Structure 1
Amino acid sequence: MTTKRVETVIVGGGQAGLATSYWLKQHGREHIVLEKADRSGHAWRQRWDSFTLVTPNWTFRLPGAEYAGDDRDGFMPRDEIVAAFEHYVAGHALPVSFGVDVTAVEPLTDRPGYRVRTTAGDFAAQNVVIATGLFQRAKIPAFAAELPTDVLQLHSEGYRNPTSLPPGAVLVVGSGQSGCQIAEELHKAGRRVFHSVGGAGRAPRCYRGKGYLRVADPGWLLRPHARHAPLAPSAVRS
């Protein structure tokens, strides 16, 4: 199979990959985005039925497509998020190749650059941008294999709604945004819920009548330990 040459290969078609593609196109730079999924917004499609953004709509700021609706302080539902990504790719005619899995990135031996090996053939690129995200793999503890086989175990990625679970009490493990949203939905549906909490904090959506991002300490995200940490209640102040 012939190796295709391109100036820049972007691995991953999520927010970071699409934003990078947008700016490269604005500057007339040759590139391609390789996305393993078959459609835009794959990570968001895996969320449960009632999922919404955990940040207000006004924070949805892909370059060239800031939120322009009439509910700036609302929380966009899953299907609207997915549609926004589909429109973004189509509206800006971004060069995204779907259904292409990148299997390796290696230095070229005869000149500067990289060989990007994929299920659709190899690419020779001067630049490679890795935009695959940080949180795309489920983390299942080893002891989960020791639980009785009649206990249904689901990662949040596999949860859809309360009716998809068998009768009985539910243990939700994790107190990040996903765990709290799912526990709240199950509780409102009349299920008996046990919520196992850990070190992941959860900021309230509103604090004293304002969205928490409007009252957050502006220096909080500049602290190294906070850059990749869950939002913690200490980030909100009066």
Structure 2
Amino acid sequence: MPEGDTVFLAGHRMNDALAGKTLLRGELRHPRLAAVDLTGLDVLGVRTYGKHMFTHFSDGNSLRSHFRMDGSWHLYRPGERWRRPAHQARAVFEVDDRQAIGFALHDMEFVPTSEEDRLISHLGPDLLAPDFDAAEAVRRLTADTSRPVGLALLDQRIMAGVGNLYRAEVCFLLRVLPTAPVSAVDPSRAVALSRKLLQANQWRPEQSTTGDLRVQHYVFERTGKPCLRCRTRVRSDEIDGRFVYFCPKCQSG
């Protein structure tokens, strides 16, 4: 699942490539949106919130796309070969010098720009927003202190942007198992760490939580490998149908 920093970077790249330009081709290959033709419209800009991306058009409407588990936006030069199969393309935008292709975007909506906020009104503060409200994120996180912290971190209604990667790494840095209750952690530190890790990677495709791109993660997808801190083998298990990664020695609870 793409994390908030992946969506943030994709949005900024899309904005740089498309904003202020006219769509020479604007197709939406989605069952609900197949009749929508965006050709001839100007792209006013692209913004992101958590894992949601909004592309604004000159007719006063916006396209919301959510990456879900396997969605992505790719940018190509005209005539360049796509890196994913054409049948996975759900959106095809073309301007004079770029193509933006949205692959495997199962969750798309075309709405008036003035109404787009209602689609994200249930979400918590965006971890990568300049005006991120840390106090509100802490308030939402501590609303149920008996909840497993690993589930709370993934809940976009608490704070928007954390996925499975950062869930695992934040729990490791907090020295608690993902199954430990929220009451076992300092909520302010949990929020601050989540924001810090996403910010560290928001301007690059590589995601490192260790500060070293050679060994990018402490525990995420490192099952059976030695913990970087104590050399105990990293373990994995499932919580609510998703894999979690942890060091059984460094993490407690």
Range class of TM-score, shorter chain: under 0.3
Scaled by the length of structure 1, what TM-score is found? 0.24
Q: Which has the higher contact order (CA 8 A, sep 6+)?
A: 1
Q: Which protein is bigger by CA-based radius of gyration? A: 1
